[in-house]
Amino acid sequence: MLRLNYIDGLVPVVVQDACTRDVLMVAYANARAVELTRETGFAHYYSRSRKKLWKKGEESGHLQRVLRVLVDCDEDCILYEVEQSGAACHMGYRSCFFRTIEGEIVAERVFDPDMVYKKKNTRSSS
């Protein structure tokens, strides 16, 4: 296995739908999150804001089954190719990239976050 170059203990993770090739989200992982992802086959990340490990979909049920993990040429960024159940974005969109830089929403909402999370949705990570 390649040795990843973690910066401050973290490596960025780009998440791509294995079928459509759409970029769904970007998150961070520490060594333990990468290890759990490889062991379980489901995406795990490290939340910088909450300062803890988390499994994608642990609250929403919108899991990411990881089919393949790719490493970039500098070994300081990884790509998860996933099968996404439901939506990747905690704001209810299939992808976290649902709006232009001008703020125009260019995708349809898949679910209502208030219903899924049963609280005011103020989370900064999906």
**Going from the N-terminus, what domains does the chain have, and what CATH number goes with each?**
11-117 (3.10.20.810)
pLDDT at 118 (0 to 100): 80
Pairing of strands 44-47, 11-17: unpaired
pLDDT digits (tens, 9 = 90+) for 10-61: 999 999 999 999 999 999 999 999 999 999 999 999 999 999 999 999 999 9
Q: Average pLDDT in the 119-123 region?
A: 50
pLDDT at 93 (0 to 100): 97
**Most distant pair of Cα atoms in the chain: their distance:** 42
Q: Average pLDDT in the 107-111 region?
A: 95
Q: What is the mean pLDDT of the chain?
A: 93
In SS3 terms, 31-82 reads as HHHHHHHHHHCECEEEECCCCEEEECCCCCCCCEEEEEEEECCCCCCEEEEE
- 0.75 exceeded by the pTM? yes
